Each structure stands twice: as structure tokens, then as C-alpha cells.
Structure 1
């Protein structure tokens, strides 16, 4: 019987110390995976995430790395493999950021590079880093993170962020074709309005939040748990015949 059992597998979740990333790390751990939680800053939050998972009987370690830098990615993968005793079976590229809302008339090259690096570059080179191990095993699961903004351009000042997430969608489809002969599935999660996250606490006013929720057919904002449930599906054998696809998690705001 096909299940969501991930016992013995190593899962790396970038940006896994809070919000959606932590919810995903926790969900994969509950399914039996040994979880590597990557973080850039806020070490205390990462250590608390590890403690929570361990208290629930899971296995977790935290690893600091700047995933916008190739050297940081290479060091991260090496540390994860050495600490958890094997190559990565499941990669969840959750790390991402809008940085700030910037109208195109005010966009600088520096800010453009920061947005593209954290959303697209990190995804591309983390995938590259785990592919050899997955290829050697003849199996693996990669879950990349897009956004509703990839489809509708996002809110004010989010055009470059939206473009970076649209690029993740296209990249994931291309990678899925390359990886499929090696038994590796590559899929995308595309969250809509997910509450309980630093993103909306930073970038969305209460008035905008209420207006957005009013337009959601299911009548509520999403939760990190909603995203984590879909991540577990994509990481598990239940999705073995699915690759190059995008799951829209938005309560019906955007239907394809």
C-alpha cells in the first residue's frame, strides 16, 4: 500500500526555522523523515524548531547557510550529508523573499539581484547540489516554491518578485524533464494568501488582508499547515507519477 511514510529519508528544508518552512519541516518529520532545517539568521528560532521536532519524537538538525551563495550551498549540502549520514532524498526550496515593495521606477540593480538571487538562484543551485545524490539512488523528490504572484504579477511594487517566482515555475518544468529519467520528481507549490507568516506581517496591511480574504471562495486565509500538507504529498510516494506540476494553494482565489 502506498503511504506518506518517509522513514529513513533525509529532507532538507531551506528557510525552515519559521512560518511555512517550519510547518513543512515538522510535517515531513512526523512522516518519519530526518529533517535538516536551513536558516540564514535567527538561530534561536531554528534551534527552537529543532527542539519542537525532537520533543515530538522526530530527528532534526539546523544548519546556517546563505543559499544565495554557491559556496554556502555547497557547504550546506556537505554538512547535512555528514551530520545526517547520507545524501538528500527530499529537497524543499522554501527560502525566498520579496525584500521590499519597490516600484519599477525606483528599482536598483542591487535590489533586483537580491530578489532574483534569493528566489531563483538559490533554487537552481540547490537543485544542482542534490541531483548527484538523487541520481545515484535512482529516486528523489524536489519541491520548489512559487507564488500566486507568478500568475498575476503580485501587489504594488512586487513585479520583480513575481517575475522571480514565474521563473521558478518555468525552471521547474525544465528540470522535471531532465530529472525524470533518473527517477526524480520535481514539482512546485504556489501559495496564495497564507496567514501566520512574516511575509504578510511585513508587507500586507490589515485593510488589504481583510479585502483579500473577502475574495477567497473558501472564506479564509491559508495556514502554513495547508502548505505543509501539500508538501508532504509531493515528498511522498503518493506523488510518484507527478512531475513538472504546480499545486495552487489559495482557497480558490486563482483557478487554472
Structure 2
């Protein structure tokens, strides 16, 4: 039986590469994204199923879970959940006070980089099969004073430890992949200068940017039989830009 894999934010960058990796293994992959056009394009490109869902919106996440239940049927199970939705929101603007802008920036980061994972996982957790895996995409920003974004990713790792303890008795693992600088994503938008790129590469030990496919391979491993005793962990994939011991 092929595994069923749900990947939020699966229409570009790390999410898309992860969807491609599981699809290449013959999994039944479902990708989500906020826009109909990008969801349709990713689904057609990879030969997977696509569902429009803004994972910051509770109603849309509930609808996704209901649709998943209809698809899998009464006895069907979800084998892998990859929480890849998130990113770096643009700076808040508007006519409010400076404090309003700060609050908006923090709330947006919190919603996109923490609550997407919390809401989606909570909505589908009863569908997770024994031997399954929940994998959330974190960031080196949690270790590097990354402001609102880094704080949200740090909270993601803290929540993951709690999630692992809850799901472990059911035979489900939960881990975070903390990625460093990864090229060929939409993370920086148009804001990545050559100088910034060079500085990020210089921080690594191997003197290169990461690739989406490398994060995808790490996610694939964490969902494999060889990783069944790895849970509650934050796995750093950054070329040595941040080291642990």
C-alpha cells in the first residue's frame, strides 16, 4: 500500500521539493497552498493531488481535514504530515501607530510560522497512522536573533517537543528540520542581494547554499523505518552555519 503524505505549503521551494521526493517513492501525495493557480501547477507538475488551503485560517484547515477524511474513508490513515507552510512576511504597513505595526508583524509571523503547523496537525492528528511521522520545517533564524520570525520558529521547536510526547505512545514521531540558507526558494522575495547571499554562504563550513532537495531528503529519512527512534528533535541542516554538540 502506498503511503499517504500531506504537505502544507507544497507548491514551491522546500515544500515542493519534499512533495517531489515522496511522489518519486510512489506515495499518494496531497499538497496545499493558498492560491488556486500555484496549487494546480504543482499538482500537475508532480502528478499529485492539490487542495487550496490557507493554513492560518481555521475554517479552511477544518475543511481540509474533512476532505482528507472523505478521501481516506472510515479506516484510512495519514502516514506523513509535513508542515512546510510559512515564510518571511513583508514588513507591516498602514496608517496605525508604530506599535500597531509591530503587533501586526509579530502576529503575522506567529500565524504563518507556528499556527499553520499547530492547526493542521491538530486537525488531522486522529488520522495519523502508527508508524507515521509529523515533520515541521523550522529555521536557523530561531538560533540567530531572527526577530518575530525567529521567535515563531523557536516556538515551533518547543511545541514539537510537546507534540512528540503526545504522539509517541501511538507510534508517531514528531521532528523539526531547522534549515539554514536554502537557495531557489521564495523566502527572501526580491530582497536578497548578492552581498547578503555571499554573507550567508560564508557562514557555512562547506561554503555553499543549501538546496531544497537536501531538506526534502532529510524529511524523507525522518519518515523512514530507519528513523523510528528519532522523535522530539530539531535536526539542523545548514552546512555548519550553526553547530550543536
Q: What TM-score do the two structures reach when normalised by structure 2? A: 0.90
Alpha-carbon distance in 1 for matches of 2:210, 2:157: 21
Answering whether residue 78 of structure 2 is matched by residue 88 of structure 1, we say yes
Q: CA RMSD in A?
A: 1.8
- 1:68 alignment counterpart: 56
Match in the other structure for 1:98? 88
Cα separation, 2, equivalents of 1:35 and 1:205 = 35
In structure 2, the partner of 1:200 is: 188
**In the alignment, what sits opposite 1:233?**
221
Aligned residues: 237
Q: CA deviation at 1:8?
A: 1.5
Helix, strand or coil: the match of 2:133? strand
Contact 1:173 1:244 in 2 (8 A): yes
Matched, 1:121 2:115: yes
Unpaired runs of at least 5, structure 2: 93-97
Give 1:209 shift. 0.5
CA contact (8 A) 1:218 1:252 kept: yes
Deviation at 1:123, TM superposition (A): 1.1
In the TM superposition, what is the alpha-carbon distance from 1:217 to its structure 2 partner? 1.0
Q: Does residue 37 of structure 2 align to residue 44 of structure 1?
A: yes
Q: Is the 8 Å Cα contact of residues 29 and 35 (structure 1) preserved in structure 2?
A: yes
- 1:107 Cα offset (Å): 4.0
- Which secondary structure state, in structure 2, belongs to the residue aligned with residue 95 of structure 1? coil
Compared CA separation, residues 210 and 201, structure 1 to 2 (3 A):
farther
The answer on whether the counterparts of 2:105 and 2:148 sit within 8 Å (CA) in structure 1 is no
Whether contact under 8 Å (2:91, 2:105) holds in the other structure is no
Question: Conserved in 1, the CA contact under 8 Å of 2:131 and 2:228?
Answer: no
Q: CA deviation at 1:110?
A: 2.5
Partner in structure 1 of residue 161 of structure 2: 173
CA–CA distance in structure 1, aligned partners of residues 39 and 29 of structure 2 = 12
1:152 aligns with 144
Deviation of the 1:84 alpha carbon: 5.3
Distance change (3 Å), C-alpha of 1:168 and 1:79: same
Structure 1 residue 51: deviation in Å?
1.9
| 1:142 and 2:130 are equivalent in the alignment | no
1:210 match = 198
Question: Secondary structure at 2:135's aligned position in 1?
Answer: strand
Question: How far is the alpha carbon of 1:31 from its aligned partner?
Answer: 1.5
- SS of 1:75's partner is helix
Shift of 1:128: 1.0
| Distance in 2, Cα, partners of 1:38 & 1:32 | 18
Partner SS for 2:40: helix
The residue that corresponds to 2:65 in the other structure is 77
User: Which segments of 5 or more consecutive residues in structure 1 lack a partner in the other structure?
Assistant: 1-6, 55-59
Equivalent in the alignment of 2:95: none
Q: TM-score, normalized by length of structure 1? A: 0.87
How many Å apart are 1:106 and its aligned residue?
7.5
